[in-house]
Amino acid sequence: MKFGYFDNENKEYVITNPQTPTPWMNYIGKGKYSGIISNTGGGLSFDGDPSNRRVLRYKFNNLPKDRPGRYIYIRNQKTGEYWSPMWQPVMKLDSYECRHGMGYTVIKGEYDGISVTVTYFVPIDKNYEIWHVDMKNLTDEEKDLKVFSYCEFSWHDAKYDMLCHWPCMAFTAEYNNGRITVDNCAEHLTGVPLYDYISTDLEIDGYDCSLEEFIGAYRSETNPIVVENGECKNSEMHSDNCVGVLSSSFSLGAKEEKSFNYTLGAASKKEDIDLQIDDAFNKINIAKEKEKLRQDWNAYFSCYCAETPSREMDVMVNIWNAYQAKTTFDWSRFISLYERGVDRGFGFRDSMQDVLGVMHAIPQQARERIVLLLSIQKSEGDARSVYYPATNVAQGGGRSDDHLWSVFSVCNYIKETGDYAFLDREVPYVNGGSGTVLEHLEKGIEFTMENLGAHGIPDMFRNDWNDSIWPISGKENRGAESVFVFFQLGHAAYELIELYKKLDKKENLERIQKVYDYCKSKLDVIWDGEWFIRAFTQDGEKYGTNEDEWNKIYLNPQSWSVLSRLPDKQQQNTAMDNVLKYLYTDKGIKTHHPASTGFNPENKDFYLFEAGARENGSIFFHSNTWAIIALCLLGRKQDAFRCYQSILPIYRNDIADKCLTEPYVFSQTMLAAPHSRKDACVNSWLTGTASWTFLAATQYILGIRPEYDGLSIDPCVPEDWEEFSVKRLCRGTKCCITVKKGCQKGLFVEGKAVAGTQVPWAEIEGKDKVNIVLVK
């Protein structure tokens, strides 16, 4: 069953049925004041940090689901009937449509002869959002109407707002000068004030700040007593739950149209509120800001545009995958329908991977995110797990993989920009002292090499990339050995070898070559005959071996063995053959097979989840991307593209009732057989799948990949593709690249033949536009 369709011309996904299997979300805002909004208006807002500067409240795992939100109630004053154009929370409409676009959402509802369209967006670099309302009377008779805004404010500290009632005791909300202003005493707890507000450019005839007064006893947002009676109580709020209700009355003549606005925002100074409201309600500004937002996203998308024989690939690469990768870069794993915005900031491992999906478009921002993350690395080489921007605090640690992700991201940045001076930039360590970027990378390698287990494989500590495998290390969080981190170490060493050769750093090269050679010497220890094992347990037993009944083969060691280039090609292909044999499904590749059920560490059953759920045998889309890249590196064109197609959410549009999550963005995982709910997806939007899929598609399948000496044109596309083209921004130059079959084979730049498959940077840099053709 489908709930909507792709409008590619407008870069929108159009939802035609409000009753989607889960709330289908969009993001408004670009890294500062921002929010999430569902297809029925549910969601929340925050001022740069959803944990410590929350503005609107949202109730996760709640019934009725997807509440509260940004609502407008419309009441017919003659009949007393009322409704909401976003369907929720009254849930009655004659017609409905939601358009999720790039940084905005438009919801249109019709009822009782009135059509209402609400456009939600956050203007670029503003600390407020706008709800722009277009209303039309479709009938031949005058309508006397009353409209009510509705939102529910949150205590600034989202965690305590969810956990207990006492934060409400510090709430105050008052109406004055055409606005409701909320003071939640953030200044006394964080040192930075936070004033939330809501206002409208309509003439206001009533207001309510108290949730209880507006909703009424034993009622909900579906039937608030104030809307039912048609009169606000003009309640202020002191030490209780707070809402933003402003009422306005007007008549709408036959066929008459009317436009008006609400603005919701946050300020650190009270005197800034009126300035922000005046700015928001400048009608010329509203039109300009909407156009500015559109142009800003179009400029972002113009940095990479592909035209291939696969329409589905084009839609994802050019629009939705790029959009999701930027959104994930902005918010890491901080806030979504599945991430509550508490105890999750910018994760070291997460955000260090997220930069890969935006490096082509905003390399300077990616660089600064890398620096931020390196600043929470310890002088010993390992890293804190997460950074909270509002409080400037880094916490966590004890994972074996975090610090190794930096190498690939830094190397990608240098290949993209040629900014070798970045390696010498001084960055502090979280526990004191500082080192250059390059020293940070080498510290990570040294830490892993200093913490090897009994078999000479890196210690897993509490866990590696697979967070849920932690019981393998026992209560001490030491002793188990991670083959994933082993290959991650090999991959990092491989990348640094390439870098040091380019820089002619002989001493560094000799040192890192020894690490790589050491890894090569250990391959026999972890080879199981048909594939590489997953780990050694704390007791020294092999895990992920054909010798066991369950959990025989894991995906990640096989794909990362190829990325590391440590084994020979025959061994790499054998490992990937078995991935396709045992783990591949038509909806993606499972984490491992056969997944065990039941938690019994003594029997090497380490997962709390049922078989087929999350890391225990689900289709974990993030890890699928590494398999796609591995297949490309092996030149297995058909296999690589088949695996890529299998994970594209666009193919799930017609079965969305089974897959549940949005068909326009990637989810983290899909339940797989033998799970009774197989095909159901969870954790959409903020996932490493976004950046890595974009990388896999653009740099490995389509094969347009920056290297140290030039732009590599090395596609791994299906044999039946006759031609495809890519327009890509490379070091300030627009590269128009065509790959096609033909008789006169070779690589040509502006008609001139170039040896090999790499265009030297000298042929690209400093020019406005370069035409490149590869004839295969």
Residues acting as catalytic residues: 467
Tokens of 384: 């804190």
CA-to-CA dists, residue 330 to 53, 69, 347, 422, angstroms: 16, 22, 12, 22
Tokens of 200: 């409208």
Give the rounded distance of the alpha carbon of 155 from its chain centre: 25
Tokens of 326: 């930027």
Tokens of 206: 């009533």
Asked if residues 492 and 446 have their Cβ atoms less than 8 Å apart, the reply is no
CA-to-CA dists, residue 316 to 304, 394, 521, 613, 694, angstroms: 12, 34, 41, 26, 9
Measured over the CA atoms of residue 723, residue 727, residue 729 and residue 734, the dihedral's sign is: positive
Measured over the CA atoms of residue 326, residue 329, residue 331 and residue 332, the dihedral's sign is: positive
**Hunting for tokens 């905005």 — which residue is that?**
104
Distance, CA of 715 to CA of 757 (rounded, Å): 10
CA-to-CA dists, residue 246 to 42, 200, 271, 723, angstroms: 18, 8, 21, 57
The DSSP symbol for 661 reads S
Burial class (CB in 10 A: 0-12, 13-18, 19+), 427: middle
What is the phi-psi region of residue 252: left when phi exceeds 0, alpha when psi lies from -120 to 50, beta otherwise? beta
Give the rounded distance of the alpha carbon of 137 from its chain centre: 40
Distance, CA of 224 to CA of 272 (rounded, Å): 32
* φ, ψ for residue 31, nearest 5 deg: 110, -5
Asked if residues 494 and 564 have their Cβ atoms less than 8 Å apart, the reply is yes
Asked if residues 433 and 379 have their Cβ atoms less than 8 Å apart, the reply is yes
User: b/e map of 616-632 (b: 16 or more CB within 10 Å)?
Assistant: bbbbbbbbbbbbbbbbb
CA-to-CA dists, residue 269 to 31, 151, 193, 275, 511, angstroms: 20, 22, 7, 11, 54
Tokens of 128: 């407020």
CA-to-CA dists, residue 455 to 243, 404, 558, angstroms: 60, 20, 19
3-state secondary structure of 552: coil
